Amino acid sequence: MTAIGIHDIEVATGHHVVNLTELAEARGVDPNKYIKGLGQDEFSFPAPDEDVVTMGATAAHRLLERTGAEGIRTLLFATETGVDQSKSTAVFVHKLLDLPGEVRSIELKQACYSGTGALQAALGIIARNPGERVLVISSDIARYELDSPGEPTQGAGAVAMLVSADPALVEIEPASGVFSEDVDDFWRPNDSSTAVVDGGLSITAYLKSVEKAWKDLEQHGGPSISDVAAFVYHQPFTKMARKAQAHLAAFTGTELNDGALDTGSVYNRRMGNSYTASLYSALTSLLHHEDGLTGKRVGLVSYGSGSVAEILTGIVRADDATRRGFRDRVLGMLDSRVRLSVPEYEGMHEKAMPSAEDTETAAVTKSPFRFAGVRGRARHYERA
């Protein structure tokens, strides 16, 4: 059977950064609650001329500079921060990337899970047509109300993956474990730019889903847990990965690689929750920072509120030096974000709801693409 998987991967994030020690001080909270209790140091915040389209296009642009676009006939864009009720984010990105007309461009939604749904769809398309490649983009902006428990877990980021036969980076194995259950743990109503969340329920729903999905994977020919060298998780905040791994270890009675929780959360600690992109920025962080993984199996644990979970496994193909070679670029991107004071961030948070009123957007972003504004109630994007 042809090996199919992730050939290459890239991360992008928002223009601004908010420091969580400063936010804790402003909220009258011990900074250790955010830094140690949640496992978060900072979060990314987009400029007014950035959104999921510009972040996703930026990640994909950097990826395609290395791989070229040849063979791409499908562009799947996973997000829960959609910019229109009808037109997909994928169509905007298709234009920004100058892709040929002969491409199907679609948006997928199911909270933080849909990046994994998109990856599964890509694997299926390539199984039928191994000569094709699929561009999968996950991009989101996580936003909760000011001064709410979720506020320190906000964030923004995008991950682009090129999925192909005979991949250079990670071969995804055919077996997977899935679980769906209707739960009101987290959602975002149509008239709100911020999520509604039951924090306690969301954590128990996540842990239950991990257990159910793992058991389903075992029943569908998945590997023994002792043959998984490292797990990466959807990380609404990086402590959640620790909770999920402790749960997985406890109910399977296995000791798991806790060091990989650190190497798999370097970017997430600094970007915050990027919803659909979170698991894949964690995978990127692990691949860039964990040595000795070549030829070994990694487990990918995906959870999206509402809720859907899936656990996939993959075999790492690229060598340590190649994988490590990409980390300075991501760290440099994180270092170069422009810091917002807490009052500046609060002012921008209030104006976050996407509007359909005609407007021209001020040029701020340093990314290759920008949201230019709304004309005739239609969104317009351009090269920055």
Amino acid found at 305: S
How many chain residues touch ligand HMG (CB under 6 A)? 28
Which residues have CB under 8 Å from 113's CB, separation 6+? 234, 276, 302, 303, 304, 307, 308, 309, 310
Q: Give CA angle at 283 (310, 163), nearest 5°.
A: 75
Say how far apart CA 219 and CA 215 lie, in whole Å. 6
Q: What's the min distance (Å) between Cβ of 225 and ligand HMG? A: 22
- Name the phi and psi angles at 7, rounded to 5: -80, -35
Q: What's the min distance (Å) between Cβ of 140 and ligand HMG? A: 8
* 25 part of the interface to ligand HMG, by CB under 6 A: no
Site string for ligand HMG, 292-331 (x = CB under 6 A): -----------xxx--------------------------
Q: What's the min distance (Å) between Cβ of 207 and ligand HMG? A: 9
Upstream peptide bond of 278 is cis (omega within 30 degrees of 0): no
Q: What's the min distance (Å) between Cβ of 188 and ligand HMG? A: 8
Among residues 292, 289, 294, the alpha carbon closest in space to that of 314 is found at 294
* 269 part of the interface to ligand HMG, by CB under 6 A: no
* 149 part of the interface to ligand HMG, by CB under 6 A: yes
* 156 part of the interface to ligand HMG, by CB under 6 A: no
Residue 11: beta bridge partners? 159
Of 33 and 208, which has the nearer Cβ to ligand HMG? 33
Q: What's the min distance (Å) between Cβ of 59 and ligand HMG? A: 19
Q: Are 21 and 43 in contact (CB under 8 A)?
A: no
* 179 part of the interface to ligand HMG, by CB under 6 A: no
* 371 part of the interface to ligand HMG, by CB under 6 A: no
> Positive or negative, the Cα torsion across 178, 179, 180, 186?
negative
Say how far apart CA 176 and CA 83 lie, in whole Å. 31
User: What is the β-pairing status of strands 378-383 and 230-233?
Assistant: unpaired
Of 149 and 325, which has the nearer Cβ to ligand HMG? 149
* 36 part of the interface to ligand HMG, by CB under 6 A: yes
Task: Name the catalytic one among 80, 151, 173, 310.
Answer: 80
Task: Name the catalytic one among 16, 112, 151, 171.
Answer: 112
* 90 part of the interface to ligand HMG, by CB under 6 A: no
Is 234 part of the annotated catalytic residue set? yes
Site string for ligand HMG, 42-81 (x = CB under 6 A): --------------------------------------x-
Q: Where are the beta strands (DSSP E) in the chain?
A: 4-13, 16-19, 42-45, 72-78, 104-108, 133-142, 155-165, 170-180, 186-187, 196-197, 230-233, 297-304, 308-316, 338-339, 359-360, 369-375, 378-383
Residue 180: beta bridge partners? 308
DSSP for 336-356, written as a single string: TSEE--HHHHHHHHHT-S---
Among residues 294, 78, 64, 290, the alpha carbon closest in space to that of 170 is found at 294
Task: Name the catalytic one among 7, 234, 288, 289.
Answer: 234
* 37 part of the interface to ligand HMG, by CB under 6 A: yes
Residue with the CB atom nearest ligand HMG in the bound state: 37
* 202 part of the interface to ligand HMG, by CB under 6 A: yes
Q: What's the min distance (Å) between Cβ of 42 and ligand HMG? A: 15
Of 88 and 153, which has the nearer Cβ to ligand HMG? 153
Is 112 part of the annotated catalytic residue set? yes
Q: Point out the residues that are catalytic.
A: 80, 112, 234
